[in-house]
Amino acid sequence: MSVLEQSILKSFTLLSTDAKELYLRSAVPVLDSPVSPLEFYRDWVATNLPVLIKGAVNDWPAVGKWNVQFLRNYLGEKLVMVAVTPNGYADAITKGNMEQLSEYFVTPEERVMPMSEFLNALENRDQYPGVFYIQRQNSNLTEDFPELVPDVGRDVPWATEAFGHEPEAANIWIGDKRAITSMHKDPFENIYCVISGYKDFILHPPTDRPWIPYKKCPLASYKEISPGIFDVVPCGAVHCKTSNDLKGVNQKQTYSDDCVNNTATAKDMKTLCNDSDEVTCGIAAEELNLLNKNSDIECHDGSFSDGFINFLSRLKVDDNVKVQTKGLYEMYVNEHKVETRNHGGPCHMCHKHVHKRASTLSYIDHDDDKSQGISKTSSDISDANTVPWICIDPLSPDYASYPLYRNATPIKVRVEAGDALYLPSLWFHHVQQSHACIAVNYWYDMQYDLKYAYFQFLESLVVK
């Protein structure tokens, strides 16, 4: 480690010590009565400190009313979007199962099903492979479940008054106890309210950033290819192991189109294409490299076009594969000028979601982790089709790989039915839940103020 790096590391340690001594608490403070907007703003928002307000939403009609039976009776027929994963981890770093070597940032498979089927899956876990979670983060409370809004409200009035504006998004979360939200942070002020069951949060203050490792992984999504067997399908990629697979468009292949988890088979796709279609190939460079080591492969990423399958059908094993390259992720960001402040969600908006979360981060390259240093700047993040994400599991930290995580200050808090947790912007959080827990949360835009600027500065110092 260079002298400069040592000095920066010392400063990080000082920051952590100061934060602990001066403002952090060892536990999340608990209030037993509602707060006024003024108190809430002055004592918690302005200081960027979490607080648990017991019984804050006890008077909502939803509390005591919403449960599995209610949802079945009231919304049983309704089609809902469900995130399905093999292991409960949606939006997390996972090993790919194609070549076993790479790790991916994997978003869930999204399935549309009647609410009653989702509830069956919750109640009869043995009969439904996979872990089911309603967790679409596109303001799904107001967008997908408007009929439930009167029982909770479009906002939390005291929070809206304190923040001075309506929430950006209101989400509903209904899940299996195996469903886990991996550690991340959001550029939002979060009012998280539990309606039924409980949620267990592990929090880290923003000052822990230097101790929290990131890894940059290609984007992928889960796809169940036969009951209980999930593949990790690289985003914008055809799932295939060999060039023979690529060639055989009639073979059953799964692919993901911008992570939409499009379930059409390659054969279906073929009928959509005609010979004159322009080919824009969407195979991840990594996959192409697996194809045929001797191929003259130009790395590429790209979006699917209808001509894709035609391209595949013409491909021969010993073809020199040359594919125009343009980073899917980068392209998406450039085209859509994705704003950096929304949360979005893993689903059809996965790029947006990822970018929004990623945009306030820098990351650690795994290879560089050994030095336990940190950082590249956020401009590096737009590397095609990859996502910087936290690679430590606070439930079982890999201290051997990430010894600096020992310096971090995890704070645990349980949020029970009727309670509201104020989770300040830029705080890292990892979330677990009781079985069939129902919760709603409200994301209010954060202020891009001095705190944010200091955080960005810290981020930039996290050197590799």
- Interface with ligand AKG, residue 280, by CB under 6 A: no
Query: Strands of 180-184's sheet, edge to edge?
Result: 89-90, 180-184, 428-433, 198-204, 411-416
Nearest distance in Å: CB 90, ligand AKG: 9
Q: What number of helices (H) and strands (E) belong to the chain?
A: 13, 19
For residue 376, the one-letter residue type is K
Distance of closest approach, residue 165 Cβ to ligand AKG, in angstroms: 18
Secondary structure letter of residue 45 according to DSSP: I
Least distance in angstroms from the C-beta of 444 to ligand AKG: 12
Non-local CB neighbours of 291 within 8 Å, separated by 6+ positions: 242, 243, 246, 297, 321
Which amino acid would we find at residue 390? I
Out of 186, 189, 287, 459, point to the residue binding ligand AKG (CB under 6 A). Answer: 186
CB of 278 to ligand AKG, least distance (A): 40
118 to 137: interface string for ligand AKG, x by CB under 6 A: -----------------x--
Residue 192 binding ligand AKG, by CB under 6 A: yes
Distance CA 77, CA 71 (A): 10
Rounded to the nearest 10 degrees, what angle do helices 450-461 and 3-22 cross at? 140
Nearest approach in angstroms of CB 426 to ligand AKG is 12
Q: Which stretch binds ligand AKG (CB under 6 A): 21-29, 186-194, 207-215, 260-268?
A: 186-194
44 binds ligand AKG (CB under 6 A): no
Q: How far is the CB of 430 from ligand AKG (least distance, A)?
A: 8
Which one, 8 or 437, has the nearer CB to ligand AKG?
A: 437
Question: Taking the complex as a whole, how short is the minimal distance between the CB of residue 433 and ligand AKG, in angstroms?
Answer: 7
- Residue closer to ligand AKG, measured from CB, 431 or 461: 431
Find the part of the chain contacting ligand AKG (CB under 6 A) among 184-192, 258-266, 283-291, 367-375.
184-192
Q: Which is nearer to ligand AKG, 323 or 431 (CB)?
A: 431
Question: Per CB under 6 A, does 431 bind ligand AKG?
Answer: yes
- Pick 413 or 463: Cβ nearer ligand AKG: 413
Asked if 173 interacts with ligand AKG (CB under 6 A), we say yes
Looking at 94, 138, 181, 378, which residue binds ligand AKG (CB under 6 A)?
Answer: 181
**Integer Cα distance of 118 and 234 in angstroms:** 26
Helix, strand, coil percent content, the chain, rounded in steps of 5: 30, 25, 45
Q: Residue 239 CA to chain centroid, in angstroms?
A: 22
Tokens (6 digits) for 310: 């035609």
Q: Is 395 exposed, middle or buried (CB count within 10 Å of its CB: 0-12, 13-18, 19+)?
A: exposed
Looking at beta carbons only, is 311 or 422 nearer to ligand AKG?
Answer: 422
Positive or negative, the CA dihedral 235, 238, 241, 243 is negative
Residue 210 is classified by DSSP as G
Instruction: Tell me the closest approach of the beta carbon of residue 24 to ligand AKG, in angstroms.
Output: 20
To the nearest whole angstrom, how small is the minimum distance from the Cβ of residue 201 to ligand AKG? 8
CA atoms within 13 A on the CB side of 304: 23
For residue 341, give the nearest of 167, 459, 195 by alpha carbon. Answer: 167
Kindly state whether residue 427 participates in binding ligand AKG, applying the rule CB under 6 A.
Answer: no
Output 96 or 344, the one with its CB closest to ligand AKG: 344
Q: Which is nearer to ligand AKG, 138 or 372 (CB)?
A: 138
Angle at 427 between CA 210 and CA 456, to 5 degrees: 55
The stretches of 337-407 forming alpha helices (DSSP H) are 350-358
Q: How far is the CB of 195 from ligand AKG (least distance, A)?
A: 12
Give, as ranges, the residues between 193 and 212 that touch ligand AKG (CB under 6 A). Answer: 199
Is residue 441 a contact point for ligand AKG (CB under 6 A)? yes
If binding is defined by CB under 6 A, does position 190 make contact with ligand AKG?
yes
Q: CA-to-CA distance for 230 and 222, rounded, in angstroms?
A: 6
Residue whose CB is nearest to ligand AKG in the complex, by number: 181
Provide the pairing of β-strand 30-31 with 51-53.
parallel
Q: Kindly state whether residue 428 participates in binding ligand AKG, applying the rule CB under 6 A.
A: no
φ/ψ bin of 267: left (φ > 0), alpha (ψ from -120 to 50), beta (otherwise):
alpha
Nearer to ligand AKG, 308 or 428 (CB): 428
**What tokens were used for 4?**
């400069």
Closest approach of ligand AKG to the CB of residue 223, in Å = 22
Give least dist CB 412 to ligand AKG, A: 15
* C-beta of residue 294 within 8 angstroms of C-beta of residue 254: no
The count of residues interacting with ligand AKG (CB under 6 A) is 11
Q: Which residues bind ligand AKG (CB under 6 A)?
A: 135, 173, 181, 186, 190, 192, 199, 429, 431, 439, 441
